[in-house]
Structure 1
């Protein structure tokens, strides 16, 4: 017999399809008007330059645009490393810019081609490639384009020391290569060569790639109305494979994803291993997006139930344990330790001495933020911009918490925004901390790169968060302050120093996601209603019930019901 929670979830599932279709139809009509407004707007000289640069960064495969390179810096033409590849996370702001301009073909091509590069697809190509999109076709000239073949002489099985990652993993990036066609040196074929981390510095698998892919797939459908793409068998399979990889049971007591250092935007050693906020915010957002797109049939009921349970547990966990403000810090300051019981207040055995000296004077009386990481006996009190901003966008943070995050950014503008928005994290690791945590990384020196550097690409996430919270003035202030400077500085990847005054020591120029982030911010500010393609509204139903089965237990009380914080606010 089903319990009340299961009955409730089945009811939600039954209502979801008809309700969503009606809402989506209404939203599409509003977005069409927004697209027309975007197309007819007057562009500044900086925007015109940015569009020229973005179009120049487009990568073509078999005559069709499939993405944008990470950077197009002519000064580093002989030392490109992997900046000439199409990165999934880097392409997202480019995709948003193209979608907002009504140019959706490149985004559709990107979604489908990266789907075919998914780990399972490469190993099972014969059964996976069924759609006409993947059939062999001729390109102009002597080149032919085919998708990677399982029997190709090129090794598509990506390994590190003969070990392969799990099925469903999306690549970090891919590159278009020309190789001789069937051993004929006079004829060539184009192939897509994916990188799953086996060539990356540190050999870290990209956990965020699949999450960004799901988020972008939803945005594409909402703005184009092309929901047939989401319903394709191969796309549905791709969604489920990413979810299976993320929802697989493991040796963890927490609903958060456990990852290694360097598995997201911060892709070098920075002490974020464990349960970093950025991954949790993207995970929550991807689950919300996937729940909307998974085909609703008898076979998907269990998957929807698992998604809802994970969303419920994850949102409670982040809201309850990651949030800090002056009141919470004072509570941690008075924590008792070594508590062994089911109703312990200090559940993670956090030692008050962990509170860093800078925090007590830095955090404002009004406002707060979600900490960077939480593990047993460890809280990372650094402020990570992307995780906090996406927690607002996805409604992982409560309304009150979201307001507190923006209040903190406004109050600490000189620290987080300063001369160039936004700090990827604050504060920087210095002295002995830098040596121990980064391993003396010469690229992540204090106030540089991932260690407190300023990344202008974060403008578009900041703009989304501000629009959602009714504070577009904050985003406009940031964009207007740097519009001319970004152009004058040749669109750098990142900036150095505490206030972001210097172009980064190793920063690439003409960085594509800097360009695209600026363009997306400008268009979103001019047409705020377009932000709905990425925003998730609060779902109070997720927190109304609990699947832990402790509601009828006389011995143990459900921790959610016993929680003292206002996680529903």
Structure 2
């Protein structure tokens, strides 16, 4: 927490000591549940810093270095989810604080970001197209129509719809229609039963047939992570399967099956933490070559590390919040305990290191220490257990 907003980590490693649109928004959302004025004000300042450095086409910075003032809009590709998290956090900040002046000052930035997102649909058919390295899993191997990003897009549209209604005193029917269609597209194209007819909101007939074949590799029922012009991925994307419930896109039958899959196949009960993706990609797997070639500084995705099987407090925090929202408080508390136990692990001799993730087999703290969103995970889960919430 600095004058310009929330930094991802004060650790002087790689580029973590910056105001990241994604990290600062997640920390900002957690701050809104605390009621603490200094944290909420830091959330506002983060959003103002990002808005002030918005690019000429509406792109929200991936990150801003508060020391050098250097602005990055992405690495080898732009970051789609930075725009999405920015819009969501602006909307939630305004709804929680009632700060009308803030939203009036932000509306131009929000509209520019929205127009850019619509351009990123490319074919004007309702789904964002995300390039490789284009979101938080920037060193993993998924791209195209990525469910995680589509769900954030849906929530971002909902935030703008709410803001528009407040500022203009009327509904924006085109935006409401767009959000409704996006929800239908998600439900139709990312969930597969063993035997089902083609849905009404089919995105592409041949791709959907490829999706059926990919879905057979899952070993259970959950939402597919992405599809692209070449086919579907099948690995379990934990955040996507959490957000589809947290943003109220799924129904109870979906939720029951996903919860069962997480309990049976995903959670590491020894530590009560969840991986970002599952199963782990190993050297003998087809995706290994692509994974090994994709990194910014050094290769981080060895088996059971980072996105490739590392266990994330941040990811687990959103799932605990989802469970609490659905009345599964006892299970949510077990996950919250897992988050606390992870956050208090030592790194470099320092206790309470708030690590980025734990190794998926050794259960030791790895990645970058003093991660703000690892702390935010505990705050989100705790306050959802107290009956508070977001995205209402």
TM-score range, shorter chain: 0.7 to 0.9
Give 1:171 shift.
0.2
Question: Within the alignment, does 1:519 sit opposite 2:379 as a pair?
Answer: yes
Matched residue, 1:284: 154
TM-score normalised per structure 1: 0.60
Give 1:260 shift.
0.3
- Any unmatched runs of 5+ in structure 1? 1-57, 61-65, 121-166, 179-191, 336-341, 537-569
Contact in 2 for aligned 1:420/1:454 (Cα 8 Å) = no
1:329 to 185, 194, 201: 194
Gap change, CA 1:345 and 1:171, over 3 Å in 2 = closer
Matched residue, 1:559: none
SS in structure 2 opposite 1:369? coil
Q: Give the root-mean-square deviation of aligned CA atoms.
A: 2.9
Gap change, CA 1:421 and 1:398, over 3 Å in 2 = same
- Listed as ranges, the matches of 1:66-465 within 5 Å are 66-73=4-11, 77=12, 80-99=13-32, 100-103=34-37, 104-120=40-56, 167-177=57-67, 192-197=69-74, 200=75, 203-230=76-103, 232=104, 234-248=105-119, 251-252=122-123, 254-268=125-139, 270-294=140-164, 304-324=172-192, 328-329=193-194, 348-350=208-210, 354-355=214-215, 357=217, 359-360=218-219, 363=220, 368-376=221-229, 378-414=231-267, 419-430=271-282, 431-441=284-294, 442-465=299-322
Question: d(CA) in 2 for partners of 1:493 and 1:471?
Answer: 26
Give 1:518 shift.
1.8
Show CA shifts across 1:285-342 (max 9, x none): 10111110125677987xx233222212211111112113xxx13559xx9xxxxxx9
Show CA shifts across 1:115-150 (max 9, x none): 111113xxxxxxxxxxxxxxxxxxxxxxxxxxxxxx
For the pair shown, which has the larger CA radius of gyration, 1 or 2? 1
Contact in 2 for aligned 1:175/1:193 (Cα 8 Å) = yes
SS in structure 1 opposite 2:5? strand
Question: d(CA) in 1 for partners of 2:324 and 2:80?
Answer: 28
Matched residue, 2:350: none
Gap change, CA 1:445 and 1:300, over 3 Å in 2 = farther
Gap change, CA 1:213 and 1:414, over 3 Å in 2 = closer
- Any unmatched runs of 5+ in structure 2? 347-352
SS in structure 1 opposite 2:42? helix
Matched residue, 1:501: 363
Question: d(CA) in 2 for partners of 1:452 and 1:343?
Answer: 30
